[in-house]
Amino acid sequence: MSTESQIELEQLSKFAAIASSKVYTSHADLDPKDHPMQEMLDWCEKQGDIVVMRSGLILSSNPSSRSVQNCKIVMGGKGLRAGKVVPTTSALVRLLLAGAKDEEADKHLDPTSDPQSVSLQQQRLRMLVAEGIREQISDIHLEVREDATYVRFRRHGELYLHTEWPARVGREVSAVAFNRETDHAITHFNPLVPQNASMPLHIEDMDIRLRLASLPAHGGFDVVMRILTTGHEQSMTLDELGYTADQIKLIHRATQMPYGTVLVAGPTGSGKTTTLAACMQMISDDRKIYTIEDPVEKLISNATQVPVNTEKEDRDFAGLGRAALRMDPDVIVLGELRDEDTARVMMRASITGHLVFSTIHTNNATAIVTRLVDMGISQNLLGDPNVLVCLICQRLLPKLCLECAVPVTQSAAHQPNLQRWAEVFGDKLSQVHVRGKHCKLCNHTGISGRTVVAEVIWIDEQSRYFIQKCDILGWEKYLKEQGWSGYPDQVLRLVSEGVCDPVDAEKLIGDLSALQTHKMIYGTTAKMAKEYSE
Ligand SMILES: [Zn+2]
């Protein structure tokens, strides 16, 4: 790469940092609905020595010229807020204004064979991930199509359009991500077949890991990048995650058991790994912990963490689990219970006197038993007092931004549902809030984060009896009699306290008024927690 383009790249990233927002390198980078910015760029192109960023930042190679003053006037006329004026080189202005024109010509080039393009796209990828981390998102979706690449972010479970790129840029960034940045860089990115990879990145003093997956689609392909490790998530406690005090008591008790199995269930992306990491923090330092993970996500200070390699037979969950059992462990974490083989390793570890943790995909806590039976584990074995200790199932529910939430009774849009919800919440309806006009504090999403809604079951003797008979209905009835609270009770409580939007609640558990039979039991796992706490 020439020295001049090196300097340009450095400046580009420097100004991107100042603007702390996107650097638009071409017209095609703009939101098509964004007419004023489009016109502004056309105007800049005519001047030749000035360029405007979406943040309002003005870059000029000739700051004392009239064009700076004119630019501010033109921006004002279009309702755009003019920001700081930053002097720059004419080369950078040209670089920022150019782009769209030579897109066609570049289309057939192999992006990974051109070093300048590679380092530009590597930078673009890093900037995108850095923006994602700043916006506290969990996933980046690149939807690469013939005409454009749509970049969407998922934050607090919801997907929104972050920006658009030219199609070429999406193809290049994807290729660079898979070919240059991943752990197994030998894999050659092929958009025509589904591919997976894992990528370590050091961004803004944080060691993060991206899990990449691609899927061919009509007219292009998708790449989804999940951001796995960020510093602030690491130290979350069960309390901060949203578990109730009674539930925490039961889970704490489980982590102190000498042997047995603790299972954390929930759909994909419901934060099961974060919960497992919080459980590990509760385990005393005199116990040796082995975790088998795919991949290692959050660093756990008191554990030996072993990554799974699905390409090698003896290095899958079951194989490494068996190997860990020979390493004099006290506690074993099997990242995910995917198959019968792994389930058998879990049972064996548990029966031979180890405390085992794992995660499993089910929608509620009692279903864990049916799922294990489906995997080929016998009911008799599951009912053995040495095996199941505690079953946890969790989901995530968006939390309202308290700054802009409005009482449901004052929201015109929610009037059609008011009667229905009034029947559920009675005089507590006045405390129920919904997403409001959105504000700066919540990034105009109306939500401030997510809370765990969980079911926690301590397996007592009576429960083991129901498990051996695989009588789930009878078991649930027994649990409710004990004052146990499932999802509906937890969700109703959060909505009635004004923490969560009833619309989000219904997305999770369906029509709230259909739950009336529950009669607002705000009972918790209090009785069970009391019985089992020392
Ligand atoms: Zn807000």
User: How far, in Å, are 30, 264, 360, 389, 470 from residue 367 at the CA level?
Assistant: 47, 12, 10, 15, 10
- For residue 199, what pLDDT is reported? 82
* Highest mean pLDDT, choosing among 23-27, 47-51, 399-403: 399-403
Tens of pLDDT, residues 339-371: 999 999 999 999 999 999 999 999 899 999 999
Q: What is the CA(498)–ligand 1 centre distance, in A?
A: 14
pLDDT at res. 247:
96
Rounded to the nearest whole angstrom, what is the distance from the C-alpha of residue 450 to the centroid of ligand 1?
14
Assess whether pLDDT exceeds 50 at residue 181: yes
Q: Cβ atoms within 10 A of the Cβ of 385, count?
A: 10
The band of 35, judged by pLDDT with boundaries at 50, 70 and 90, is low
Ligand 1 center to 445 CA (angstroms): 7
3-state secondary structure of 1: coil
State whether residue 102 is helix, strand or coil: coil
CA contacts within 13 A on the Cβ side of 381? 16
Burial class (CB in 10 A: 0-12, 13-18, 19+), 211: middle
Q: Is the pLDDT of residue 392 over 60?
A: yes
Residue 231 has pLDDT above 70, yes or no: no
Q: Please state, as a whole number, how many other Cβ atoms lie within 10 Å of the Cβ of residue 76.
A: 11
Q: Where are the alpha helices (DSSP H) in 55-166?
A: 66-77, 90-97, 103-106, 115-134
Residue 66, pLDDT score: 86
- CA geometry: angle 208, 213, 219, nearest 5 deg: 135
Q: Which of 56-60, 291-295, 369-373 has the highest mean pLDDT?
A: 369-373
**Distance (Å, rounded) from C-alpha 468 to C-alpha 465?**
5
Rounded mean pLDDT, 467-471: 94
User: Which of 22-31, 258-267, 379-388 has the least mean pLDDT?
Assistant: 22-31
Which amino acid, one-letter code, is at 94? R
Q: How far is the CA of 135 from the centre of ligand 1 (A)?
A: 14
Determine the distance separating the centroid of ligand 1 and the alpha carbon of 513, expressed in angstroms: 28
Which is it for the CA torsion 316, 322, 323, 328, positive or negative?
A: positive
Taking alpha carbons only, the member of 201, 205, 264 closest to residue 227 is: 201
What's the 451 CA to ligand 1 centre distance in angstroms? 16
Residue with the bigger pLDDT between 63 and 252: it is 252
Using the mean position of ligand 1's atoms as its centre, give its distance from the Cα of residue 256 in Å. 41
Q: What's phi and psi for 123, nearest 5 deg?
A: -65, -40
pLDDT of residue 113: 53
The model's confidence at residue 234, banded by pLDDT at 50, 70 and 90, is low
3-state helix, strand, coil in the chain (%, to 5): 45, 20, 35
Determine the distance separating the centroid of ligand 1 and the alpha carbon of 446, expressed in angstroms. 5
Nearest to 277 by CA among 296, 262, 295, 298: 298
The residue with tokens 């098509």 is 32
Instruction: State the distance from the centre of ligand 1 to the C-alpha of 355, rounded, in angstroms.
Output: 43
* Crossing angle for the helix pair 487-496 and 415-425, to the nearest 10 degrees: 110
Residue 191 pLDDT class (50, 70, 90 cuts):
confident
Q: Which 8-state DSSP code applies to residue 519? A: T
17-21, 304-308, 309-313, 397-401 — most confident range: 397-401
Query: How is residue 372 written in tokens?
Result: 């294990």
Residue 261, classified by CB atoms within 10 Å of its CB into exposed (0-12), middle (13-18) or buried (19+), is buried
How much is the pLDDT for 207? 79
Asked whether the predicted pLDDT for residue 528 surpasses 80, the reply is: no
Distance 399 CA to ligand 1 centre (A): 11
User: Residue 460 above 70 pLDDT?
Assistant: yes
pLDDT at 320: 93
Q: Does residue 378 carry a pLDDT above 80?
A: yes
Q: Could you tell me the distance, in angstroms and rounded to a whole number, from the CA of residue 448 to the centre of ligand 1?
A: 7
Two tokens at 448? 């401030």
Q: Tell me the C-alpha to C-alpha distance, in Å, between residue 375 and each of 192, 213, 343, 403, 456.
A: 33, 27, 7, 47, 22
**Range scoring the smallest mean pLDDT among 57-66, 240-249, 457-466:** 57-66
Bridge partners of 289, per DSSP, are 303, 331
Q: pLDDT value at position 116?
A: 67
| 444 CA → ligand 1 middle, Å | 6
The CA 310 to ligand 1 mean position distance, Å, reads: 43
Find the 329 Cα to ligand 1 centroid distance in Å: 47
Measured in Å, residue 504 CA sits from the centre of ligand 1 at: 16
- pLDDT in the model for residue 401: 92
Determine which of 21-25, 204-208, 244-248, 394-398 has the lowest per-residue pLDDT on average. 21-25
Average pLDDT, the chain: 82
List, in order of start, the domains of the chain with CATH numbers: 1-101 (no CATH), 111-230 (3.30.450.90), 235-532 (3.40.50.300)
Q: Report the first-to-last Cα separation within the chain, whole angstroms.
A: 68
Residue 258, helix vs strand vs coil: coil
For residue 440, the CA-to-ligand 1 centroid distance in Å is 6
What pLDDT, on a 0 to 100 scale, did the predictor assign at position 264? Answer: 97
155: CA distance to ligand 1 center in Å? 14
**Residue 284 CA, ligand 1 centroid: distance in Å:** 40
Bigger pLDDT: 408 or 119?
A: 408
pLDDT of 393: 96
pLDDT for the residue numbered 10: 60
Percent of the chain whose predicted confidence (pLDDT) is above 70: 82
pLDDT value at position 29? Answer: 42
Q: What is the pLDDT of residue 5?
A: 53
pLDDT of residue 522: 39
**What confidence tier does 98 reach under pLDDT thresholds 50, 70, 90?**
low
Task: Kindly state the tokens that stand for 506.
Answer: 């219904």
Ligand 1 centroid, distance to 443 Cα (angstroms): 7
Token pair 């989000």 is at which residue? 504
Alpha-carbon Rg for the chain in angstroms: 27
pTM: 0.68
Give pLDDT tens digits for 484-521. Answer: 988 988 999 999 999 999 999 999 888 888 775 444 44
